[in-house]
Amino acid sequence: MALRRRGTVFICPSAIFPADGRMVDPATATFWASWQTDEEAIEDVDIVGAENAIAWGRDRADVVVIRLGHRGDTYFQAGAVHEQDDSDDPPPPPWPPAAPPPGGWWTPEEEW
């Protein structure tokens, strides 16, 4: 069955992690990906690695948004279409991040 490319895929870390401004390691973290329309959630999965989660999302929707942390500056647009919301905030930058964040990536092995 061919999937219809519609809606938006939202991707975020599956695990609880510190809200101190750090970002999870996109290569090793497990991500929750949710394919949604305005009317319904179509499918949800947990996937290891941001690139794998993004590939899953791009197979389903043109708009794919991933976040690696808790703050607004940890969001990235990873789909073929970059969507702007109605706020005055600038849209998230395109995926991937330009560099690791100051202090490096956060991994579950680290102490809080």
Q: pLDDT of 50-79, one tens digit each?
A: 999 999 999 999 999 999 998 888 999 999
Predicted structure pTM score: 0.90
Give the pLDDT confidence of 11-29 residue by residue, as tens digits. 999 988 888 888 999 999 9
Give the pLDDT confidence of 73-101 residue by residue, as tens digits. 899 999 999 876 667 778 899 999 999 99
Contact by Cβ (8 Å): 96, 77: no
